[in-house]
Each structure stands twice: as C-alpha cells, then as structure tokens.
A and B are shown apart, each in its own frame.
Chain A
Amino acid sequence: MDVNLSELMAALPDDDLSSTANAAWAQEQLREILADLAQRPAPAGSLHRLWTLSELSAQIALAYLALWIRRWFSDAEASKRRLMETNLRVALKTFHRLGYLRGAMTKLGQAAGNLPGILPGQVADTLDRLHFEAPPMHYALIREVVRNEFGKESEELFLSFEKEAFAAASVGQVHRARLKSGERVAVKIQYPGIARTIDADFRNLSALVLPLRLGKDWESVKAQFEEVRRMLNQEVDYLQEAESQRLARELFRPEDGIVVPRAYPEYSGKRVLTTDYVQGLHLQDYLATNPTQASRNAFGTKIYISWMRMYYAFMPYVDPHPGNYLFLSDGSLGLIDFGCVQHYGPEERELVRMADKMAYEDPSIIPEVVQRACGVSANDPELEGYVRMMEESLDWMMEPVRQPGAFDFGDEAHFQRGVDWFSRVVRKRHLRAHPMYVYWNRSVFGFKALLYRLRAQVDVHAVVRQERPGW
C-alpha cells in the first residue's frame, strides 16, 4: 500500500491555518517526528521492534493528530497560544518517545471513523491493520502470566495446553488448550504490563492536552477522547470481555446459525481469557475457497443480523474487524472478540430509539435528533449544517433499506458514498457529537467494509423486519 503522510495531510481539510505560526510549527514538528520514526531501522529482535505498528497505521494516526492540532489552533484565542504551544511541545515529545503510543493514536484514528480521500479497498484493508502489536511471548513467559493470574501452573489448570500460539491478538496471543472437563478452548493471553502502560500513557497525554480548552467544540472533543480512553481500558480487561461475551451469547439461538463461544470466567482473569474454541476460517481464507454467491450472501446476512441484534440489545459490536468473524464449514458464523462492545445506558438508549424512529418512521424529527445527538442548540447557527450532515448520513445508511430486494454490499459506489460523507463531515468540522457516536461510526464503517469485501447481497428488508423491535 503506497499511502504516505504527505498524501494523507493533503487529503485533510485545507483551511486557513497556514497563516498561524503555531500551526505551521506543529505541522513541522510532526513531519520531523515522522521522518525520524521512518528513518529508524527496526532490526529484528531489537527493542525497536517492540510496540511497533505498521508504518501505515502510524502515519494515519499522525495525520489525525495533525488534523486535531490544526483544528485546535485555528479556534484558539491568541492569549492561550503560549501555554498551548508548551503543552503541545511536551505532548509531541511524549508521543515521539513512546512509540507504542502510536497504538493509542491509531485507536483514535479508528474511532474517528474513516479516512477521507482514500479508495474503499484501501480503507477496508486499513481497518485490518489498525491494531496494537505486542511482541510474541514464549512459553516460559506465558507460564508466569498464567501463574500471576491464577496462582497455578498452566499444567495444573488445564488438561493440556499448546505451547505455541495459533493466533495473534492485538495485545497478546491465543493458545489452544483443553479443560479438565474435556472442552477444547482458546486461551487469549495478554502481554504483561501492557494494559497499565497504555492507561498510564493515555492519562499522561490527556493531562497535557485536555486542559487546553481549545475551540468551541472542545467539551465535545474532550468527551470523545475520554470515551476512547474508557473503551481502551475496557478492551484490555479480559474479565469484562468475558462478561460482554456472556451477555452476547444469550442473544442468539441455534436457529440463527450464529455461534458465540462460551467464556469461562473461572479460567479467565484480567489478562487471560478462556473461551470455547471455534473451528472456522477467517474472511480471507474463506474467500480463497471461492465460495458461491449464495454462500457469501448467507454469511453476509448472518453478519448483518448479528450486528443489528446486538445494536438493538443496546450493546453494539463496535469492532466488526474481519479477524473477529469465523466462517464455519456448516454455514454458521462464529462471532468472537467481545472486548469492544459498548453497553448503552438510559441516555444512549433513548438516542437509539429516537434515531430509529427518525430513520424508519418520521424524518421530520431530524433537527430534534441532531440537537440531542450532537449537542447543538436550536438557535445555533451551525444547526443547519449538522442537520444536512444527518440527512446525508441517513440517506447513505438507509440506501440498502430503501431499495427493493437484496442489496449488493459489493457495490463500490455505495461504500464510496459513505467515505465521501465522512470526509465532508471532517472538512466541515462537524465533529460535535455524543461520545457514543465515536465508536458507532467505526462500527458502521467496519461492518460495511466487511460486507463489501465479502461482496454479499443481503435482503436488508427481511433482516430489519425480523430484528427491529416494536418499541
């Protein structure tokens, strides 16, 4: 993939910032940091390789950081510039020093949704790569992590335990094992200390950046930033994941053909997650078998159903990453990885109900929904712009519903319209939103990217009829 930072920067909104010295300075700093990072070789086995992300992911994250910075600078009052500059300088230094913070930044990039001006195929591929990469662990280390968590050796705890991992996780790795009661399980093990490190660094960075009060949308941006931090912390707590998985599992029946493996809390802890092993293919391996259109449609439909079911259960699956779906030989869909599930409270639920009414029944409530969802008051001059943004979003989201019959998610133009919409939102700086939408955007784009790659045709009407609750 040949996207580089300058292209990404070029794709970002072109505004009046070049006139302010600070913005130019910040951009220059970022360029230098990037150049420095790019120059450093990552020799095999050395510390440099630790915590690295693919260069592309880092660049995307940096580009988003650049975007944020440019936005702040444009809105800030001159009197605050000096303080900002100092804090920013420190923040940039911190960012530079802690290579793996690029991981956190990457998550911000993901959370912001998608990238303007990039081809859908590239976006879909990119969603694959935006992840932390913890160094692989040998068994001697695995044993100690298990011992820390359970006070027991893995040999005592399990009937058998494979010493080699069979899959990588974003902050750890996954081993096959067998419980004493006979079940085959997948044991996800987290690299030691990574959760606390991510949290601490994210806190440090927040402490530098959040008090800055830059711009009129600052409170909203801050809340969104906090939401990312909250979700990151949730994602690295495997006990919470086990609980989300238990709740998700209750949503599906055998006739759905959607398998959520059972999580075993007694064999899980903050850093270790044990779930039933699911035998299946990842998307790319499944596609490599040249599946029929009918098979792809059936899987696409199941993906759609699983996504809607969880959304309407107020626990949206906000990481529809291809690695989290398994294609089983009997046609069932395996759904794994519940680290990134949101649990909506009363406020978010109310917004879901309103949005649903707006989408399916009564478009006249759009302004009302916008006021609630984006915190834009009725007399705000920006309301109109936000309303238009919502109308366009709705058009795109409802396209598959409005068209009769099965909808072809392999249609590149549809995906592209979504990407275009997002880039307009960024360009117009309509970034005020309830924090729940940070992950919601990511969820929608990830989910559509998945169906796009699957080239699935899904009868969305039928799915909606089946899944939409009659509130």
Chain B
Amino acid sequence: MRITAEAKSATRLRILQAATSLFVSDGWQNTTTRGIAVAAGIATGTLFNYFPTKEAIAAALVAEAMERAGEEFRAGRREEVSLEADLFSLIWSGLRHLREFRKFLAPASDTIFSPLARQSPDSPGDAIRVDHLELVEAIVTSHGFSAPRPAVTVQLYWTLYLGVFAYWAADDSPGQEDTLALLDQSLKLFVASLGIDQGRGTYGRQSQ
C-alpha cells in the first residue's frame, strides 16, 4: 500500500502534537511511545516508522523550532552588529521558539544532545547539533574569523550552548532573566576565546 507524502506528513504532525501535549501534561519520564501512539490514534508499530524513540520525537520538535528561529534570525539580522550580539540573537530566538516545550526539555536534553561536538552521530539531536554548529560557523566566519577553527573552539561553544540550554529549561526566574545573564556571560567567554576584544563598554564609566 502506498501512502502519499501528504498523508505521511499529516501523521507525522499528529504524532508531534500528541507527544507535545503528553510531554507537557504527564512529564517526560511518564510519557511512553505507546501512549503517544494511542493519543495520535495510530498503532505503536506505525509510530516506529516515523520515530524510533521518544527522544527522536523531542529532537524533531526542537529541530523544527530551531529551524524557525534560524529563519527569524536571518531575516532580522543587521550588518553592524557584533559577533557576540549576533550569536546572542540566534540562541535566544531559538530558546524563545522552544518556550512551550521548556518544562519537558529539562529532563529530555540529557538524552537528546550529546555533550560532544563531534563524533556523536547516534544521538537523536545530532542533526540539530550539526545544523546549529554550521550556522554558528558561518556567523563567526562572517565576522572575519576565518575557518578552519581549532576543534576545541567548537567544543567550547557547544559546551556553553548546552549549559545555557539546560539552565534555561529549568530556569524559574521572571522572564528567564537568569538565563539572559548566563547566555550573555557565556558568549563573552566564547568570544574572548577567539582572541578578540570587541571593545565594547567604552562609554562614560566614570559617571554614574
């Protein structure tokens, strides 16, 4: 039996929607692929044709949100902005698009992302990582820091990114302001590691 591409993507969408509401209502730990299949009105076996694990479902949700964020970032990008501000916009926009998934991403992020920037093709979030790091590469390069970069630079970025991500997922401060601060400080560290000082903060420090 042939299934049209249209029907396929409709099913996929149903699975993602059912999974989202279960993750949100029952929590990450308590949700099973079986439960998701029931909620989506399909057989568990059918679900496995789409996603092998619930981690893969979460990864798909994240990937889509990140894709939208990437588009938003490209559309809103302005030339005169510093590298630090550019990366900040990209990452924060990603987190903003993920806001509705925040609660279950805290426990899920451990299993969907590998902490290693390379050599982790098996983790469900692998494609997200590859795409994200590619975009970051392009942004860094566009600010005049030519590739190739030492592997450790990329690893530093990814470590900081995952740290911010995990912190954000569990951040109960108003408007996640603590994550804003952490992201800002993490990016300062990262940019400093590239060996450049963008020379900000020169305005009247003496006057308060």
Known contacts A192-B177, A193-B181; is A128 also within 8 Å of B84 by CB? no
- Cβ–Cβ contact A47 & B189, under 8 A: yes
Check: A21 CB closer than 8 A to any chain B CB: no
- Cβ–Cβ contact A196 & B173, under 8 A: yes
- Cβ–Cβ contact A169 & B180, under 8 A: no
- Cβ–Cβ contact B189 & A148, under 8 A: no
**How far does the Cβ of A301 sit from chain B's closest Cβ, in whole Å?**
23
Contacts of A323 in B (CB 8 A): 206-208
Closest to A164 in B: B203
Q: How far is the CA of A44 from the CA of B205 in the complex (A)?
A: 16
Contact of A141 among B174, B184, B204, B206 (CB under 8 A): B184
Contacts of A165 in B (CB 8 A): 203
Q: How far is the CA of A173 from the CA of B200 in the complex (A)?
A: 13
Question: For B92, B174, B207, which residue has the most chain A Cβ atoms within 10 angstroms?
Answer: B207
Known contacts A138-B82, A191-B181; is A167 also within 8 Å of B188 by CB? no
Q: How far is the CA of A173 from the CA of B88 in the complex (A)?
A: 18
Interface string of B43-55 (1 = CB under 8 A from A): 0000000000000
- Cβ–Cβ contact B200 & A148, under 8 A: no
Q: How far is the CA of A271 from the CA of B200 in the complex (A)?
A: 22
Q: Which one of A8-16, A68-76, A129-137, A403-411 is at the interface?
A: A129-137
Check: A166 CB closer than 8 A to any chain B CB: yes
Contacts of B203 in A (CB 8 A): 136, 164-168, 173
Known contacts A139-B81, A169-B208; is A45 also within 8 Å of B92 by CB? no
Contacts of A168 in B (CB 8 A): 203-205, 207-208
Check: B89 CB closer than 8 A to any chain A CB: yes
- The contact size tier of chain A is 35 or more
Interface string of B108-122 (1 = CB under 8 A from A): 000000000000000
Contact of B181 among A45, A139, A167, A194 (CB under 8 A): A194
Check: B185 CB closer than 8 A to any chain A CB: yes
Contacts of A43 in B (CB 8 A): 192
Question: For A45, A131, A136, A194, which residue has the most chain B Cβ atoms within 10 angstroms?
Answer: A45
Contact of A138 among B174, B185, B200, B205 (CB under 8 A): B200
Q: How far is the CA of A350 from the CA of B188 in the complex (A)?
A: 51
Check: B6 CB closer than 8 A to any chain A CB: no
Contacts of B184 in A (CB 8 A): 135, 137, 141, 192
Q: How far is the CA of A139 from the CA of B180 in the complex (A)?
A: 13
Check: A145 CB closer than 8 A to any chain B CB: yes
Considering only residues 259-284 of chain A, those with a C-beta below 8 Å from chain B are 271, 282, 284
Check: A321 CB closer than 8 A to any chain B CB: yes
Closest to A50 in B: B185
Q: How far is the CA of A148 from the CA of B171 in the complex (A)?
A: 14
Check: A170 CB closer than 8 A to any chain B CB: yes
Considering only residues 22-59 of chain A, those with a C-beta below 8 Å from chain B are 43-47, 50
Question: For B84, B178, B206, B208, which residue has the most chain A Cβ atoms within 10 angstroms?
Answer: B208
Contacts of B188 in A (CB 8 A): 45-47, 50, 135
Contacts of B79 in A (CB 8 A): none
- Cβ–Cβ contact A170 & B201, under 8 A: no
Contacts of A144 in B (CB 8 A): 92, 175, 180
Interface string of B140-180 (1 = CB under 8 A from A): 00000000000000000000000000000000011101101
Contacts of A138 in B (CB 8 A): 81-82, 84-85, 88, 200
Contacts of B178 in A (CB 8 A): 192-193, 196
Q: How far is the CA of A271 from the CA of B189 in the complex (A)?
A: 25
Considering only residues 272-325 of chain A, those with a C-beta below 8 Å from chain B are 282, 284, 321, 323-324
Closest to B183 in A: A141
Check: B136 CB closer than 8 A to any chain A CB: no
Contacts of A148 in B (CB 8 A): 174-175, 177, 180
Contacts of A321 in B (CB 8 A): 208
Check: A78 CB closer than 8 A to any chain B CB: no
Q: How far is the CA of A166 from the CA of B203 in the complex (A)?
A: 6
- Cβ–Cβ contact B208 & A131, under 8 A: yes
Closest to A283 in B: B207
Contact of A192 among B81, B180, B198 (CB under 8 A): B180
Q: How far is the CA of A131 from the CA of B207 in the complex (A)?
A: 10
Contacts of A47 in B (CB 8 A): 185, 188-189
Check: A413 CB closer than 8 A to any chain B CB: no
Contacts of A44 in B (CB 8 A): 192, 197
Check: A1 CB closer than 8 A to any chain B CB: no
**How far does the Cβ of B191 sit from chain A's closest Cβ, in whole Å?**
6
**How far does the Cβ of A273 sit from chain B's closest Cβ, in whole Å?**
14
Contacts of B88 in A (CB 8 A): 138, 140-141
Contacts of A50 in B (CB 8 A): 185, 188
Contacts of B173 in A (CB 8 A): 193, 196
Q: How far is the CA of A135 from the CA of B205 in the complex (A)?
A: 11
Q: Please name 25 pairs of A and B residues whose Cβ atoms are closer than 8 Å in the assembled complex, sorted by A.
A: A45-B191, A45-B198, A46-B188, A46-B192, A47-B188, A47-B189, A50-B185, A131-B208, A139-B81, A140-B88, A140-B92, A144-B92, A145-B177, A147-B175, A148-B177, A149-B175, A167-B203, A167-B204, A167-B207, A170-B208, A191-B181, A192-B177, A193-B177, A271-B177, A284-B206
The 6 A-B pairs of least Cβ separation, nearest first, read A45-B192, A148-B175, A136-B201, A192-B177, A323-B208, A192-B180
| A-binding residues in B (CB < 8 A) | 81-82, 84-86, 88-89, 92, 173-175, 177-178, 180-181, 184-185, 188-189, 191-192, 197-198, 200-201, 203-208
Given contacts A44-B192, A45-B188, 5 further A-B contacts (CB under 8 A): A43-B192, A135-B201, A165-B203, A192-B175, A193-B177
